[in-house]
Amino acid sequence: MYIVTAKEMYDLDRYAMDEIGLDGRLLMENAGRAVADQIESELSLSDGILVLIGKGNNGGDGFVIARTLLQRGYDVTAVQMVPSSKIEGDAAYHRKLLLSMGYSFVQYDGQESLEKLCDQNSIIVDAMLGIGVKGEIRSPYREAIQTVNASPTHTISVDLPSGVPADEGVEVNQAVKADRTVVIQYPKLSAYFQYTATFYGEWKTVDIGLPAPSQHKRSFYGKAQVQSTFPTRNSFSHKGKHGKGLVIGGASTMPGSVGLTSRAALRGGAGLLTLATVPSVIQALASSTLEATYISLQDLNGYILDVKGLDLSYDGIAIGMGMGRHEEAVQVLQKVLQKASCPVVIDADGLYALEKDTSILDDRDGPSILTPHPGEMAHLLGVSIPELLSKPFAYTRSFAEKHHVFIVLKGAFTIITNPEGEQWVTDTGNPGLAKGGSGDALSGILLAYIMQDQTIGDALCNGTWIHGYTAELLTAERHSEHDLLANDIIEGLAQTYRTLSL
Ligand SMILES: NC(=O)C1=CN([C@@H]2O[C@H](COP(=O)(O)OP(=O)(O)OC[C@H]3O[C@@H](n4cnc5c(N)ncnc54)[C@H](O)[C@@H]3O)[C@@H](O)[C@H]2O)[C@@H](O)CC1
Ligand SMILES: [K+]
């Protein structure tokens, strides 16, 4: 499922009309009918429906919704928010159609009467503002949004909750807090965006017959994509086929994180796994992580001093977990990135070391994969966390394109970006993952997947999706978000694979 900006949606609309010859009035009919079908699934004939109709094409959809539900026998009150003279184009056509069929609407005449209408009806359909919203919300929408939000009546928004912009980087000053949103054709960026997603309530898309964008820029990555791209292991598989992975990290005070990464890589399906770390970490882990092999690195005060002589001919490497923020960590990372030609996952203290000099990414032979949380990404970019979170898609894309890297920006919506700037969003997971160690487990899963038979982009999407889905499965059954630990996720992978028949 594609995710679009307002401009991309308008471009598609124009293409459909100018190149394909789809009439705009037909698209509006399709949109209104599809939304009406969705709304109808929640209705009984005795329900009163209030449709709030704005000036633009979102309002045009509203006219179609009102007419369709009236024709089907529902008790509909349509309120036109602006004077008739202001309604133009396709919306004016559908306004006329409503009247020609013998139905009528009422003209908005202030907050007080709207309040009454909201209370008298069982459902409010918000078709006031769509993707054309710009700047501070003006009258009469400002007051109408306040009234809708103050009313307990169930609210369904059309395309977007009125006042919510389609794009990132735009502040929401006032918007409808919808219970549900019926999104037209493709979800807009703001549906996947921390500050605006909550306005949508539960949402669903409806197809109105628009073509797919000609170029893939962004899309949602869900269960169907995981099931169609996840590699199978056939009966002739041998351990070498599934990848020889190397984990580099750990310090005497932080043995756990590389342990989690290694075990997650093994449970994730890595064929062979080697952990290169300081001697004390090997002592701490050797008896619990039996399937791994170990390489002892030179240490200084419990930290990795050097990777001199370390063979880097693996199928994939993960570096940085629990490595520490000592001075030598920077050289350790640099040497690995320069010498290794395989894909390298850089996480945690590896990202901290990278901040000192991001140019080391630029002339690598193999792919680099960065797995930051917003704090780490903000540091790499040299911006504040709120600034990053106001435009997470744009910021990560510019960094990925500039340094030619893959980025997995972790969050409630994880954004995966490839070096060409294409993006995918996964939405699995829950607050149970907001704990130390869950990032280490994710790095291990990603390391395992990038060594399997799938593209790196799919491997990263599959890994983040499965990591989050496992948390959801576990908290639905034997765990809660309070007690869930990274190790539970690793052990829970078995259940995910079996549930999904992977
Ligand atoms: N492919 C498409 O693009 C389609 C779009 N459709 C609908 O059309 C909508 C987009 O239509 P429009 O471009 O007319 O945009 P809107 O319906 O969002 O309306 C924009 C108008 O609202 C007013 N407005 C904007 N910002 C405001 C503010 N801050 N305060 C007060 N008034 C403000 C302005 O008068 C502006 O002209 C979509 O969201 C969707 O619902 C559908 O009808 C079918 C196809
Ligand atoms: K709307």
> What confidence score (pLDDT) does residue 46 get?
87
The pLDDT, as a whole number, for residue 425 is 97
Which tokens hold the place of 206? 């409806």
* pLDDT at position 77: 98
Same domain? 231 vs 85: no
* Cβ atoms of 162 and 141 closer than 8 Å: yes
Residue 60 among known ligand-binding residues = yes
Counting Cβ atoms within 10 Å, is residue 34 exposed (0-12), middle (13-18) or buried (19+)? Answer: buried
Question: Dihedral of CA 20/24/27/29: which sign?
Answer: negative
Ligand 1, atom 26: nearest CA belongs to which residue? 133
Q: Is residue 150 part of a domain?
A: yes
Question: Using 50, 70 and 90 to split pLDDT, how confident is the model at 236?
Answer: low
Instruction: Output the residue whose Cα is nearest ligand 1's atom 28.
Output: 137
Q: Where are the beta strands (DSSP E) in 15-70?
A: 48-53
Tell whether 318 is in a known binding site.
no
For residues 206 and 230, state if they share a domain. no
**How much distance in Å is there from the Cα of 157 to the middle of ligand 2?**
5
With b meaning 16 or more CB within 10 Å and e meaning fewer, what string describes 387-396? Answer: ebbbbbbbbb
Tell me the ipTM for this assembly.
Answer: 0.97
Q: Which atom of ligand 1 is nearest to the CA of 128?
A: 17
State the Cα–Cα distance between residues 378 and 372, nearest whole angstrom.
9
Side chain identity at residue 343, one-letter code: P
The label of the residue with tokens 């169907």 reads 224
Residue 502: what pLDDT?
Answer: 80
Q: Are residues 202 and 243 in the same domain?
A: no
CATH number at residue 87: 3.40.50.10260
Q: What is the mean pLDDT of the chain?
A: 94
Q: Which of 95, 129, 137 to mutate to test the pocket of ligand 1 (most atoms within 8 A of CB)?
A: 129
Instruction: Identify whether 18 is part of a domain.
Output: no
Backbone angles phi, psi at 300, to 5 degrees: -135, 115
* CA 461/CA 369 separation, integer angstroms: 12
Dump pLDDT digits (tens) for 291-325: 999 999 999 999 999 999 999 999 999 999 999 99
Give 238's pLDDT tier (boundaries 50, 70, 90): low
Give the per-residue pLDDT at 262: 97
Return the DSSP state at 391. Answer: S
Residue in 38, 58, 176 to alter for ligand 1 test, most ligand atoms within 8 A of Cβ: 58
Q: How many CA atoms lie within 13 A of 395 on its CB side?
A: 24
471, 484 contact by CB (below 8 A): yes
Q: Which atom of ligand 1 lies nearest, measured to the CA of 127? A: 41
Q: Which atom of ligand 1 is nearest to the CA of 12?
A: 1
The answer on whether 61 is annotated among ligand-binding residues is: yes
Instruction: Name which residue sits closest to atom 5 of ligand 1, judged by CA.
Output: 57
Please answer whether residues 386 and 348 qualify as being in contact, where contact means their C-beta atoms are separated by less than 8 angstroms. no
Give the closest residue to 451 by CA, choosing from 441, 460, 442: 460
Query: Phi and psi of 132, rounded to 5°?
Result: -90, 5
Query: What's residue 170's pLDDT?
Result: 86
The SS3 of residue 47 is coil
Q: Yes or no: say if 117 and 77 are a contact pair by the CB < 8 Å rule.
A: yes
Cis peptide bond N-terminal to 211, omega within 30 = no
- Nearest listed ligand to the Cα of residue 166: 1
Which atom of ligand 1 lies nearest, measured to the CA of 90? 43
Kindly give the interhelix angle for 486-499 and 255-268, rounded to the nearest 10 degrees: 10
What mean pLDDT do residues 217-238 have? Answer: 84
214 pLDDT more than 90 = no
Long-range contacts of 97-102 (CB under 8 A, 24+ apart): 97/63, 97/67, 98/63, 98/66, 98/67, 98/70, 101/67, 101/70, 101/71
Q: What is the whole-number distance in angstroms between the Cα of residue 398 and the centre of ligand 1?
A: 29
Give the pLDDT score at 231. Answer: 84
Q: Which ligand is nearest to the CA of 171?
A: 1
CA–centroid distance, 146 to ligand 1, in Å, is 19
Token representation of residue 259: 């342990």
Residue 232 confidence (pLDDT): 78
If you measure from the C-alpha of residue 133 to the centroid of ligand 1, how many angstroms do you get, rounded to a whole number?
A: 6
Tell me how far apart the alpha carbons of residues 310 and 297 are, in angstroms, rounded to a whole number: 8
Q: How far apart are CA 4 and CA 82, in angstroms?
A: 28
Instruction: Give domain status of residue 19, yes or no.
Output: no
Instruction: Please give the average per-residue pLDDT across 477-502, as a whole number.
Output: 92
266 and 180 both lie in a single domain: no
Percent of the chain residues topping a pLDDT of 70: 98
Identify whether residues 63 and 150 lie together within a single domain. yes
Judged against a pLDDT cut of 90, whether residue 422 lies above it is answered with yes
368 CA from centroid of ligand 1 (Å)? 41
Nearest CA to ligand 1 atom 2: 13
**Nearest CA among 195, 114, 121 for reference residue 161:** 195
250 and 332 together in one domain:
yes
List C-alpha distances in Å: 468 to 223, 267, 345, 450, 473. Answer: 11, 15, 19, 18, 9
83 belongs to a structural domain: yes
Looking at residue 64, what is its pLDDT? 98
Which residues, judged by CB distance below 6 Å to any ligand atom, belong to the binding site of ligand 1?
9-10, 13, 27-28, 31, 54-61, 129-138, 141, 158-159, 184, 208, 210
Q: Whose CA is nearest to atom 1 of ligand 1?
A: 13
Q: From the CA of 58, how far away is ligand 2's center (Å)?
A: 6
210, with CB counted inside 10 A (0-12, 13-18, 19+), is: buried
Quick one: tokens of 20? 């394909």
Q: How many domains does the chain have?
A: 2
Do 236 and 173 reside in the same domain of the chain? no
Closest ligand relative to 127 C-alpha: 2
In angstroms, the CA 493 to CA 334 distance is: 33
Please state, as a whole number, how many other Cβ atoms lie within 10 Å of the Cβ of residue 117: 20
Ligand closest in space to the Cα of 133? 1
Residue 237: band (very low, low, confident or very high) from pLDDT cuts 50, 70, 90: low
Domain coverage including residue 37: 6-13+24-213
The pLDDT-based confidence of 453 (bands split at 50, 70, 90) is confident
- Are residues 278 and 174 located together in one domain of the fold? no
Q: Which ligand is nearest to the CA of 162?
A: 2
- Mean of pLDDT values over 159-163: 98
pLDDT value at residue 501: 82
Which residue's CA is minimally distant from atom 40 of ligand 1?
58
> Binding site annotation covers 411?
yes
pLDDT in tens, 343-379: 999 999 999 999 989 999 998 989 999 999 999 999 9
- Decide: 132 and 57 in contact? Cβ < 8 Å: yes
Domain boundary among 194, 213, 232: 213
Over 80: is that where the pLDDT of 241 sits?
A: no
Q: Of 189, 213, 237, which one is at a domain's C-terminal end?
A: 213
Q: What gap in Å lies between CA 265 and CA 375, rounded to an integer?
A: 25
Q: Annotated binding residue at 13?
A: no
Q: Cα of 422 to ligand 2 centre, how many Å?
A: 28
In a domain, 1, yes or no: no
Distance, in Å, from the CA atom of 478 to the CA atom of 484, rounded to the nearest integer, reads 9
The closest residue, in CA terms, to atom 13 on ligand 1 is 132
37 in any annotated domain: yes
- Of 188, 213, 238, the residue at which a domain comes to its end is 213
Q: Which of 156, 184, 189 should be mutated for ligand 1, with most atoms under 8 A from CB? A: 184
Are 135 and 176 in the same domain?
Answer: yes
d(C-alpha 468, C-alpha 168), whole Å:
24
Closest CA relative to residue 131, chosen from 277, 296, 9: 9
For residues 148 and 125, membership in a common domain is answered with yes
**What local confidence, expressed as pLDDT, does residue 104 receive?**
96
- Is 144 in contact with 108 (CB distance < 8 Å)? yes
How far is Cα 190 from Cα 340, in angstroms, rounded to an integer?
A: 39
Q: Which ligand is nearest to the Cα of residue 20, counting in written order?
A: 1
**CATH number of the structural domain spanning residue 347:** 3.40.1190.20
pLDDT tens across 85-135, in order?
Answer: 999 999 999 999 999 999 999 999 999 999 999 999 999 999 999 999 999
For 72, residues 6+ apart whose C-beta sits below 8 A from its C-beta are 36, 40
- What is the helix (H) or strand (E) element at residue 247, kind and residue range? strand 244-248
Mark whether 426 and 471 lie in a shared domain.
Answer: yes
pLDDT band at 234 (very low <50, low <70, confident <90, very high): low
Shared domain check, 193 and 268: no
